[in-house]
Every structure is written in C-alpha cells, then in structure tokens.
Amino acid sequence: MATTSSPLRSRLLTVLVGAVLMVLVGAPSAYACSCMGYDFEEAIENADLIAEITVEQEISDVDGDVTYFAVVNTVWKGEESRTIEFRTHEQTTACGLGRIPEGTTLRVWASGADGRYSSTWCALPMDGGADDEERLTELLGEPADLTDQPIPSIGDPGGPPAASQSTVVVLAVGGAVLLAGTTLVRLLGLAIALVVISARGRRG
C-alpha cells in the first residue's frame, strides 16, 4: 500500500535541510569595513596630512560621501593651511569615519593635497591610542599651532562656501513648494470668481 508524505512532514524536512545548510555554509554576516591596516609608523608614512581639525560646515553629500569645511588647529605633518575641505563616508561599514557633527574636533590621518583631503578608518594606525599625540610629537616634533591665524571669511581664498549644496537643494525645494502653493491659491481664487460671476449672470 503506497503512502504519501503529509504536509507537516514536508515542512519539517524543509526546515531540517535549511538548518543543516546553515551549519555547513554559515549564516550570512553583515558587510563590514576591511582594511590591510598600518602600524603607527606606517600610518605616519602613508598620510599626507596629520592634523587636528574642527568641522565647521557640511559642504556636500554625494551618495553618503560627505565633504566638510574644516578649520585646522594643529599640524604634525603636511600642509599648514588654516582651512581644508575634508571628505569621508558617512557609513563606517564603507570604511568611512561616520557622519561628523558640526563643531566636532578630531585628529585626522588624511590623503590629498592643496586643501582637499579625505580619510577612512583604514588610514588610522592599528596600534593607536590615547597617547597618539605624544607619540606623534616624539616622532615628528612639536606640531605647528595655527590657532593664532585668522580664519578666512566667506568669499576669501580658503574661506567657507557661501552655501552648501544641501542648503541650496533645500532652498530650491522650498521655493518650488512655495511657488506651487501660490499658483494653487491663485487658481482657486480664479475659480471662485468665475463661479460667483456665473451665479450673478443666472440671476440677472
């Protein structure tokens, strides 16, 4: 006498097979930043700029790649410019430093030139720690202190942008919404006027 598997038995078999595959293959893991990694001296050698900066303003955001206008406070290695454009990804899973709030002061190990720099977690020394400043000073000498230099104004070379791209987008969208609202109000007023005129014509 032939027998057929019940739906319950089929489901149990499917679950069992899935569990076995999960053990053999492994559960899917979330993507994480992967770096070759540098020790302290290698990180110094590979960096074009090692400096303490303060993020003042977000300039642009292109697919999570965020550029900031930053003021440079001290420089251990590289260009001694009072301000720079600093770029990093907002996602740490993409090896970026994350979203940096305005007013944040941080030490950066960056690549670039001529006032434009970028950095990732991969640029940081694997053996870095709380004594990084002392180690940098021991290896590179006292940092250049730029805090006594004036910060360029808007419109001056090295000064902050008049408006960030994100601000421009917000203003453009706001203007479009305002224009659409104004147009809608005018059309509504015109429609009401036509209805009133039509009603008066009928009465006459």
| Averaged pLDDT, 155-159 | 91
Beta-carbon contacts of residue 75 (< 8 Å; ≥ 6 apart): 49, 50, 51, 143, 144, 146
pLDDT of amino acid 186: 72
* Whole-prediction pTM: 0.67
State yes or no: pLDDT of 19 exceeds 60.
no
DSSP assignment string, 70-117: EEEEEEEES---SEEEEEEES-GGGT------TT-EEEEEEEEETTEE
Least confident interval from 60-74, 100-114, 152-166, 180-194: 180-194
Domain locations along the chain: 40-145, 163-198
Choose between 137 and 190: higher pLDDT: 137
pLDDT of amino acid 177: 44
Q: Could you report the per-residue pLDDT of 93-144, keeping only the tens digit for each?
A: 999 999 999 999 999 999 999 999 999 999 999 999 999 999 999 999 999 9
Q: Which residues pair with 68 in a beta bridge?
A: 58, 86
Structure-block tokens of residue 173: 């969208």
Q: Could you report the per-residue pLDDT of 22-74, keeping only the tens digit for each?
A: 333 344 334 578 888 899 999 999 999 999 999 999 999 999 999 999 999 99
State yes or no: pLDDT of 77 exceeds 80.
yes
CATH topology assigned to domain 40-145: OB fold (Dihydrolipoamide Acetyltransferase, E2P) (2.40.50)
